Amino acid sequence: MVERNGYTMRDVARLAGVAVSTVSAVVNHKGVIGSELTERVERAVEALGYRPHAAARGLRLGRTYIIGMVIPDVTNPFFVEVLRGVEDEALRNGYEVMVCDSNGEPNLEMNHLTALYAQRVDGVLLIPADSYVAHSALVRCQLPIVFVDCVPMRAEVMSVVIDNFDASYGAVRYLLGLGHQRIALISGKLVHSTSVDRVEGYRKAMQKANLPVREDYIRHGESHIESGYSFGLSLLKSSPPPTAIFTMNNRTTLGVLRALKELAIPCPGRISLMGFDDCDWTPVFNPSLTAIAQPSNEIGKNAVQLLLQSIQSVQEGVKVETRQIVLKSSLRIRESTGPPPNA
């Protein structure tokens, strides 16, 4: 087999001083090869820059060793971190990743799934644009599929998520513990299971504290900076204004920060701010931001592991048991949260 850089498996075998079958076993992760021979083959592969051609290998082995991934926004730092975990784990298992951006549009998402099926990928990781229509993706995909971060409503699917309800509930309980009672919430659209669970965690924490859930303190919209800015302005100008704002997306957090700066409102002196997603920039703001950190890299790695198990089951003709992996987030407390002004 002649590969893209001109070297063949036979060249690798010659350099490593082993049989071609040994190189094939190491490259394709087949059979049991001793550590010494494996190391010799890997050194030869690295020295020659040998890379198996995915399509040719797929014809020989009955799979392409490519997985597809559909993401709603490739510019969002959270999804980038998830993708990094996906690629690391995929490469470790000899797979390549084909990434598509749905831009949060269900129709475009379906087009991408159709294209990935045509490319004969072995399976798909999907962060759906809409939980209410995501079930149709499951039915029409015709491939092993694992949902990541967000899942279809009222459906048991292979998925990797965090406990969004618990994360939101714990965050609001922390704000309540500081003495806040007027806590506002800025959420994404309620077409995502993540938003639904986070809002429910907020409501439950307020009810547990015997405090009213004020609908005028709750905003739902696009998870964009502009939404966070406009919602932030309206909340900060309301009467009486909240003493704390809880944002459920890193983009909306940036929008609220812009509103605070424009209105010259000190944080946390007059209002506390807590966000979802602990990005690289959250600790460097002044004040540094209290945020819920999601194990984004681990989400990606677990999603690949679950998908590869599903692919293997399909290859072997074994029934795939539905499984959901639920990971825990952590609350990182910094300077943007403090007691309310009247405390």
Tell me how far apart the alpha carbons of residues 49 and 63 are, in angstroms, rounded to a whole number.
23
* Lowest pLDDT segment from 110-119, 135-144, 296-305: 135-144
Assess whether pLDDT exceeds 70 at residue 226.
Answer: yes
**Taking the CB of residue 96, how many other CB atoms lie within 10 A of it?**
14
Report the candidate in 110, 107, 118 with the shortest Cα–Cα distance to residue 140.
Answer: 110
- 267: which 2 tokens? 């944080």
Q: For residue 119, give the 3-state DSSP assignment.
A: coil
Identify the weakest region by mean pLDDT among 29-43, 161-175, 257-271: 29-43
What is the SS3 assignment for 183-227? EEEEEECCCCHHHHHHHHHHHHHHHHCCCCCCHHHEEEECCCHHH
Q: Tens digits of per-residue pLDDT, 17-50? A: 888 888 888 887 777 788 888 888 888 888 888 8
Rounded to 5 degrees, what are φ and ψ at 264?
A: 55, 45
Q: How many residues are listed for the chain in this entry?
A: 343
Which three-class secondary structure state does DSSP give residue 179? coil
- Domains in the chain and their CATH numbers? 9-52 (1.10.260.40), 66-162+296-327 (3.40.50.2300), 164-294 (3.40.50.2300)
CB distance 48 to 9 below 8 Å: no
Q: Say yes or no to pLDDT of 260 above 60.
A: yes
How confident is the model at residue 56, as a pLDDT? 55
Per-residue pLDDT at 331 exceeds 70: yes
Which of 141, 75, 80, 143 lies closest to 111, judged by CA? 141
Mean pLDDT score, 109-130:
92
Indicate the pTM of the whole model: 0.82
Q: What is the mean pLDDT of the chain?
A: 90
SS3 326: strand
On the question of pLDDT at 275 being above 50, the answer is: yes
Residues 223, 280: Cα–Cα separation, whole Å: 18
Q: How far apart are CA 19 and CA 13, in angstroms?
A: 6
Asked if residue 296 has pLDDT above 60, the reply is: yes
Residue 229 has pLDDT above 90, yes or no: yes
